[in-house]
Amino acid sequence: MRRGLRSDPLSDTYERYALGLIRGPRRSERGPGRKRSPAGRRPSPPASLLARLEALSVKGWPERATLYTRSLPPGCVHCLDGRGSSISLTTLCNRDCFFCFNPRPRADVVSVHGRDVRSHAQAGRLLESLGVRSAGISGGEPLLFPARTLGLVKELRRRLPKLWIDVYTNGDLLTPRLLARLKAAGVDSLRLNLAANGYDPRPVRGALAVFPDLAVEMPVVPSDQGRLSALMGRLDGLGVRHLILHELFCSGHNAGLLRKAGCRTRARPRAFLTWSGVAASEASALRLVAEALEKKLRLSVYYCSTGTQQWIARKAWQT
Ligand code: SF4
């Protein structure tokens, strides 16, 4: 089924996880003389930082610099197993984060695993055919369209009762009523991007009462390491179980804004991906992981690197 899927046209509005999985050429399809650009290589984190993490008994995959302190969120477990997918409900958003790598101009198009779809049923059929165990409904901001989000969740729940469903949101539009409706429709958990609101944890409070297993998931802007450190402590105090940090991504859509913000970007993405990591983001993220271990936070902090994104992409491509 996956083999047939590769011949379907790709959505050109979706350049996040799932599209990155599919777009890369096979090794055998690359030109004979093509070599990886040195600029595309991911610099290793400092050896002293890795040694500090090892001494703190960090968990994970040091060879890909993907590490965590306590446990992984369920949706990530399936993703790391090559059984995760993403749905972009829209690329419209009520925010305009400088680091956002969604295509501009934004478009109100639904795509599943990098393919445009026209109905909830089509989305469900596609995920069913992929045999995935988890799916993240993201955007843009999916909660700009609550009826669409709820309708899709209900369809997925009907068709794939065991699918783990996360909804990604910046949290601005969450209300007690919407939280209850999301839960009733069959959403398992939320992923809150608090980088969008300047690291304000307020959306977490109400959401935790309905989704106790929610995760906060954000890119690490290197210059914001201090603010992220303060937020980690506040999330721990609130009883949040998971904080997911990822390397700040640079794509063709945010490269200019990232440069203006002082982020040094690499010239080319890694093979299989349509983005690359921003220099210094990884080291900042790993310092936060080390800090969480040193402070013995109950909050589990997980850093997912572009190295792991690449690994997942290759795995999905070769399956
Ligand atoms: S909230 Fe998310 S989707 Fe919206 S602009 Fe920011 S990063 Fe992009």
Query: Which of the listed residues 13, 141, 144 should we mutate to test ligand 1's pocket, taking the one with most ligand atoms within 8 A of CB?
Result: 141
Pairing of strands 134-138, 84-88: parallel
Kindly give the number of the ligand 1 atom that is closest to the alpha carbon of 170.
1
Closest among 244, 247, 17, 249 to 132, alpha carbons compared: 17
SS3 (DSSP) at 15: coil
Adjacent-strand bridge partners of 301: 243
Domain range 2-24+45-318, CATH architecture: Alpha-Beta Barrel (3.20)
Parse the chain into domains and list their residue ranges. 2-24+45-318
- pLDDT score at 318: 58
SS3 (DSSP) at 171: coil
The string of pLDDT tens digits covering residues 246-289 is 989 887 778 888 888 888 766 555 555 666 788 789 999 999 99
Report the separation in Å between the CA atom of 139 and the middle of ligand 1, taken as the mean of its atom positions: 8
Q: b/e for 186-206, b at 16 or more Cβ within 10 A?
A: bbbbbbbbbbbbebebebbee
Report the separation in Å between the CA atom of 89 and the middle of ligand 1, taken as the mean of its atom positions: 13
Report the separation in Å between the CA atom of 120 and the middle of ligand 1, taken as the mean of its atom positions: 23
Query: Residue 159 is encoded by which pair of tokens?
Result: 């068709």
Residue spans of the chain under pLDDT 70: 1-43, 265-275, 315-319
Question: What is d(CA 80, CA 191) in angstroms, rounded to the nearest whole number?
Answer: 17
Using alpha carbons only, how large is the chain's radius of gyration in Å?
Answer: 19
- pLDDT score at 260: 86
N-terminal to C-terminal alpha carbon distance within the chain = 11
Answer yes or no: is the C-beta of 93 below 6 A from any ligand 1 atom.
yes
- pLDDT score at 32: 32
Indicate the length of the chain as a whole number.
319
Alpha-carbon dihedral 123, 134, 197, 283, rounded to 10 degrees: -130
Query: Which of the listed residues 88, 90, 95, 197 should we mutate to test ligand 1's pocket, taking the one with most ligand atoms within 8 A of CB?
Result: 95
Structure letter (DSSP) for residue 139: S
Give start and end residues of each alpha helix (H) in the chain: 2-5, 17-23, 47-55, 74-80, 120-130, 146-159, 176-185, 202-210, 225-238, 255-260, 281-294, 306-318
Sign of CA dihedral 132, 99, 281, 310: positive
Question: What is d(CA 4, CA 23) in angstroms, rounded to the nearest whole number?
Answer: 14
The string of pLDDT tens digits covering residues 116-153 is 899 999 999 999 998 999 999 999 999 999 999 999 99
Output phi, psi for 110, to 5 deg. -95, 135
How is the beta sheet containing 115-116 ordered, strand by strand? Answer: 59-61, 66-68, 300-304, 242-247, 215-220, 189-192, 164-169, 134-138, 84-88, 111-112, 115-116
Kindly give the number of the ligand 1 atom that is closest to the alpha carbon of 140.
3
Instruction: Give the Cα-Cα-Cα angle 251, 100, 120 (nearest 5 degrees).
Output: 100
Cβ atoms within 10 A of the Cβ of 282, count? 26
SS3 (DSSP) at 204: helix
- pLDDT score at 273: 61
Report the separation in Å between the CA atom of 95 and the middle of ligand 1, taken as the mean of its atom positions: 6
Q: Are 181 and 169 in contact (CB under 8 A)?
A: no
